[in-house]
A and B are shown apart, each in its own frame.
Chain A
Amino acid sequence: DTGVSQNPRHKITKRGQNVTFRCDPISEHNRLYWYRQTLGQGPEFLTYFQNEAQLEKSRLLSDRFSAERPKGSFSTLEIQRTEQGDSAMYLCASSLGISGNEQYFGPGTRLTVT
């Protein structure tokens, strides 16, 4: 399977703990995006990378959130001191800049903060 992959698929954590999610984009896609989706809602944009550079961050991305893409391939999203309001599906998408805007989404990581 050469699509976008995300790990873990599910994460349950206690409030106050730190969590880290990983996204592996489609090979050679230079653009990578993180979105958050709460139940019954559409995904909301969080941040975007072109290669290893983080070029855009949403106001939704508080100081407790940090994303990296150190080698321009996989990306990690870390949430520090998790809160119950962080419970959501975290989706990653990737696109190839040359071919246009189509973003391919991964299956997501479902986070539950208890």
Chain B
Amino acid sequence: GESVGLHLPTLSVQEGDNSIINCAYSNSASDYFIWYKQESGKGPQFIIDIRSNMDKRQGQRVTVLLNKTVKHLSLQIAATQPGDSAVYFCAETLPLGSSASKIIFGSGTRLSIRP
């Protein structure tokens, strides 16, 4: 069925260290995945995406890894900063037709930064 889940609900990281947030998905037919960041009182903000024909994609301080064999996604944040504190969601998309899609979100991991 449609299911995107996360291994850990909370993650505490020392400022300056790297953060790794993991996610498992169940729909082997999924071909597009997104990571969102949601700060308190705000809507989800797109961070990075990856298509199923890739296994790694890098952005500014962030890297997404996709392992289709075990249906696992991870988000790596380099040199974590206080501004990275937020809830992070992995998500997959399902087609709606006319090239539109709906986003299926996981339940989120809260990232907190220790000074």
Main secondary structure of the interface of B (DSSP, over half): strand
Residues of B at the A interface (CB closer than 8 Å) are: 4, 32, 41-46, 49, 89, 91, 93, 96-108
Category for how many chain A residues contact B: 20 to 34
> Min CB distance, A58 to chain B, in Å?
8
A53 to B57, CA, bound (A): 35
Contact of B96 among A41, A56, A93, A104 (CB under 8 A): A56
Additional pairs, 5, CB under 8 Å, beyond known A43-B103, A101-B99: A45-B103, A56-B97, A95-B100, A102-B49, A107-B43
Instruction: List the count of A-B residue pairs having beta carbons below 8 Å apart.
Output: 61
Distance between B99 CB and nearest chain A CB, rounded to angstroms: 6
Contacting residues, chain A, for B104 (C-beta < 8 A): 45
The answer, among A4, A56, A102, for a CB contact under 8 Å with B46, is A102
In whole angstroms, how far apart are the Cα atoms of A55 and B95 in the complex? 12
Give Cα distance in the complex from A42 to B92, angstroms: 12
- For residue A74, CB closer than 8 A to chain B, the reply is no
* Contacting pair B97 A101 (CB below 8 A): no
Kindly state whether residue A44 has any CB partner on chain B within 8 Å.
yes
Contact between B43 and A40 (Cβ–Cβ < 8 Å)? no
Query: Which residue in chain B gives the minimum CB-CB distance to A93?
Result: B43
Residues of A within 8 A of B49 (CB): 102
